[in-house]
Amino acid sequence: MNTPRVLLIACGALANELVRVKRLNGWDHVDIKCLPAELHNRPERIADAVERKILENNQDYDRIVIGYADCGTGGALDALAERYGASRLAGAHCYQFFAGESKFSQMSDSEPGTFYLTDYLARNFDRLIVQGMGIDRHPEIKEMMFGNYRKLVYLAQTMDPNLELAARQAADYLGLDYEYHSTGLEPFKITVAAHAAAT
């Protein structure tokens, strides 16, 4: 019996972690195609971009996995998954993937006004947040967008002192308390395996 071929259409912010999970699991049957992470600044465009990628590739695969959480699409990705017989990684956003559902619920319940960073966002904070949201050009946007936050939590997939420093600097820039949580890859690996494993 041939192993079903799986296409994982994912957010570019998950690319490094997905490649690592694929390698760790020996998933030769899984191909990963990523869309630009900048789409997170325009969530209304995510579903259309995913659909185009499905239509370009679905004839070559037995199964399609959408490597996004809902990500502010208001259910559009779930509707897309249903339409094409695909599946989607469970969760409202990727922070839930990395922390694990239980731990993330505890953190968000203890302080709803929390802004989260992953390794990718810590590495690309200036490009995606400061420049991507126009704060560098219009500093008043910072207070409008982050004035109700109290804390920045860095969910670290790797132990990288340079990324931790970048996350601390991001917290200072936003005027938020800083907290560090080492998540590793295990919660994310479990989430992805539920959809992409060769079953």
Judge if 117 and 159 occupy the same domain.
yes
Judge if 28 and 82 occupy the same domain.
yes
Judge if 120 and 46 occupy the same domain.
no
Judge if 131 and 61 occupy the same domain.
no
Judge if 20 and 73 occupy the same domain.
yes
Judge if 88 and 113 occupy the same domain.
no
Judge if 145 and 86 occupy the same domain.
no
Mean pLDDT in residue range 167-179: 97
Number of folded domains in the chain?
2
Q: Which domain holds residue 61?
A: 6-92+186-196
Under a CB-based contact definition with an 8 Å cutoff, are residues 181 and 155 in contact?
A: yes
Tell me, yes or no, whether 109 lies in a domain.
yes
Judge if 163 and 108 occupy the same domain.
yes
pTM for the structure as a whole: 0.90
pLDDT (tens digit per residue) in 82-113: 999 999 998 888 899 899 989 999 998 999 99
Report CA-CA distances (Å) from 154 to 76, 125, 168, 169.
Answer: 28, 12, 8, 11
Judge if 69 and 106 occupy the same domain.
no
Judge if 78 and 134 occupy the same domain.
no
Judge if 57 and 40 occupy the same domain.
yes
Tell me, yes or no, whether 120 lies in a domain.
yes
pLDDT (tens digit per residue) in 13-59: 999 999 999 999 999 999 999 999 888 888 899 999 999 999 999 89
Tell me, yes or no, whether 1 lies in a domain.
no
Tell me, yes or no, whether 51 lies in a domain.
yes
Report CA-CA distances (Å) from 66 to 26, 76, 122, 160, 167.
Answer: 20, 12, 24, 28, 28
- Tokens, residue 68: 């996004």
